[in-house]
Amino acid sequence: MNVSADLSLVFPQLILAIGALLLLVVGAFTPKSTTAICGASVVTLLVAAYAAATAPFGHAFAGGLVSDQASAFAQVAIYVASAIAIPLGQPWFERRGVRVFEFPILILLAALGMGMMAGSGDLISLYIGVELHSLALYVLAAMHRDNAKASEAGLKYFVLGALSSGLLLYGASLIYGFAGSTVFSDIAVAVTHGADTGVLFGLVFLICGLAFKVSAAPFHMWTPDVYEGAPTPVVAFFAAAPKMAAMVLFARALAQGFGGAAEQWQQVLVIIALTSVVVGAFWGLAQKNLKRLWAYSSIANIGYALLGLASGDAQGIQAMLVFMVLYMVDVTGFFACLAALSRQGRSMETIDDMAGLIKEQPGIALAMTAFSLSALGLPPFSGFWAKYYVFKAALGAGLDFAAVAGLVGSVVAAFYYLRLIKVMWFDASEGVTDHPPVEARAIGMVLALFSFPVVMVALIWIDPLAHAAAAAFGLA
């Protein structure tokens, strides 16, 4: 084993680990230096993103961690999204009298876990990466300690997360017991001609545990409550980077570990994908709280991403990667706008609170309109191109019924996006809003511009990068 070569392959994760530890020491001795710690954390994440983009390819630590085009693609997206979460969240907490230096450090630790998830090469690193990022997210959900809903959200997330971790670990142990190895490449050899009963049982438990992490139905029970109770900037982070990390981990485990059993897990993924679309579309119709509404929206969108993955080929994985990048932009931007809105010091979180927003905050209202139109899949916004890739991959893999069902779900979900737009543009205002903070407003506006028209240019680079990342999984 060449330790120096292994360390060079995981250099981005080393940057995050060392940065988090150093900043934790700085914060412990100078807890009031939150601004400096936030700035250093953002720089650390951006440096790690650059290191991921330029890292050499190979397998480290006997195949436990992998550095390839897929891990580089995912890590860059994850680290940039995590960097955006820090200037969005820290000022939000400070305006509410919660001045804690731990917030950016927890983001760094979550990003470290997500980086491991994106580059996992065996079941052990898979589990360690999932738990490392999950532990940080549990604390982030309850970061606003004086808020009862935030504490409840953190507790619910922790308890249900422990259940999913048990499913994940039990599935991994079954797979190891029947396949004889934890390394994905060795497992692939054992299931070359399909998975036997023991491995298949383990795979089902593994899929259930990962489905919880991406909040796919019917393992979505934590999502609406946690989204509603957690601080809005934390939800913006929850809904973006961790979903990308978990979906890439999903794809790597299934494609590289269970490629020979594709016909078996493809059926399970199609069922989970369509269930997610149905739950997200129909349950979202009854929601009046925007954070709960977008929780169901995220469930539906994960269904579309899983539909791409269920295609079982490189085109499907490429579609999933493009979808997740564009989805991250929309969901982060929407929650940035939501974090910027308040009236008389009270957060604006319901649909009724948005009445007449176009007159009070026209810039934010326009940005939220763009994100809503993108989420419903209206061309030429980014959400349209995301769904175009997914439905094209599903049709190409012969999943015609699933593609049609997904399209119907998208039409149903359009109702609650259009209802929000109608309230913002045509209902009477409920009063003057507070002056929005510069950071959240700027992030929302910039990401809205990405949703359209920048996406038309960005796809020129995103598409070939996603294609190269998908090819790294080894599927035809």
Average pLDDT over residues 248-257: 91
The pLDDT-based confidence of 98 (bands split at 50, 70, 90) is: confident
The pair of structure tokens assigned to 61 is 């630590």
pLDDT at 428 over 90: no
Cα gap 163→100, rounded to integer Å? 29
Express each pLDDT in 101-118 by its tens digit: 889 999 999 999 999 999
The residue to which tokens 């400070």 are assigned: 94
pLDDT at 471 over 80: yes
Strands 346-347 and 342-343: antiparallel
Cα gap 444→339, rounded to integer Å? 9
Q: Where are the domains of the chain?
A: 3-471
Closest among 394, 423, 393, 391 to 407, alpha carbons compared: 391
Express each pLDDT in 187-211 by its tens digit: 988 888 777 888 888 999 999 999 9
* Three-state DSSP class for residue 347: strand
* Three-state DSSP class for residue 350: strand
Cβ-in-10-Å burial (0-12, 13-18, 19+) of 150 comes to buried
**Cα separation values, 77 from 52, 58, 311, 321, 325, Å:** 10, 20, 23, 10, 7
Cβ-in-10-Å burial (0-12, 13-18, 19+) of 193 comes to exposed
Residue type, 104: P
Contact present, 126 and 245 (Cβ < 8 Å): no
Which residues, in sequence order, are bridge partners of residue 347? 342
Express each pLDDT in 349-361 by its tens digit: 899 999 989 998 9
- In this prediction the pTM is 0.95
